[in-house]
Amino acid sequence: MIRPLACALGLAVLTVGLVAVQPAAARTIASAPPAVPDSKLIPKVRPATADDLEFRPGALTIVTDAVSGGRFWVFTYTIANKTGKTQRFSPRFDLLMGDGVILEAGKDVPVDAARRMQRAVASAQAVDQFQVMGDILDGESNAREGFVIWPEKGDPKDMTLFVTGMSAAFDRRTDPATAKEVIVRRSWSRHYAVPGVTDPRHGTEATFDVIKDQWLMR
């Protein structure tokens, strides 16, 4: 996970394709993984409650693994605790594709491929969705960088990311399909509009509609 090794392996066995949320030039095959942005420049998700963790979404990138030939979506983020007390973080990341396919982070992602995805896209300090779980102490110095991975499936031209775990808020509702009571939790979502056809040979920059960033019960 050392950056020089990350750059070498990223160039040797991986090609990086579609990049979202990177505001300047899009990434190309020959470019090295970018430096981690200054925390002051990373957009933050406005808390829904006073006890919410601070969530800073990063890039949503599609990566082709030249070793296996598989393609994967990789999302990076930073989570920080500014509530004044220790908070527990147990996140869940779901990606809803345009054709209704729901991708669960980490599912059907080989461990060795996940390591290569991290080297190509995330920082050396980033941890996966399982390692990031646990108590987060208060203060910026205790912030954690994370990354999540999904195998490429479904229609990528219209995607919605759902993230649960930053807020402890929940509610009980009746599932109309089963008439049973279920627990829904406050989740953050972001809608992505991806132009054109995704192609790992080109560093095409994607866009997201910030108007559709929202909190919802799910």
Which has more confidence, 25 or 143?
143
Residues 13/116, Cβ–Cβ less than 8 Å: yes
Q: What would the pLDDT profile of 47-104 be if each residue is shown by its tens digit?
A: 777 889 999 999 888 888 888 888 888 999 999 999 999 999 999 999 999 899 999 9
| Gap between the Cα atoms of 27 and 17, Å rounded | 7
pLDDT tier at 207 (50, 70, 90 boundaries)? low
Write down the domain spans for the chain: 3-217
What pLDDT sits at residue 7?
36
Q: For residue 27, what are its two tokens?
A: 């990434």
Q: Nearest CA to 22 among 210, 211, 214, 208?
A: 208
DSSP string, 14-72: EEEEEEES--SSPP-TTSPPPPPPPTTTS--PPPSSTTPPEEEEEEEEEEEETTT--EE
Domain 3-217 belongs to what architecture?
Answer: Sandwich (2.60)
